[in-house]
Chain A
Amino acid sequence: NAGVTQTPKFRVLKTGQSMTLLCAQDMNHEYMYWYRQDPGMGLRLIHYSVGEGTTAKGEVPDGYNVSRLKKQNFLLGLESAAPSQTSVYFCASSYPSRLAGFYNEQFFGPGTRLTVL
Chain B
Amino acid sequence: QKEVEQDPGPLSVPEGAIVSLNCTYSNSAFQYFMWYRQYSRKGPELLMYTYSSGNKEDGRFTAQVDKSSKYISLFIRDSQPSDSATYLCAMRDNAGNMLTFGGGTRLMVKP
Is chain B found bound to chain A in the same assembly?
no
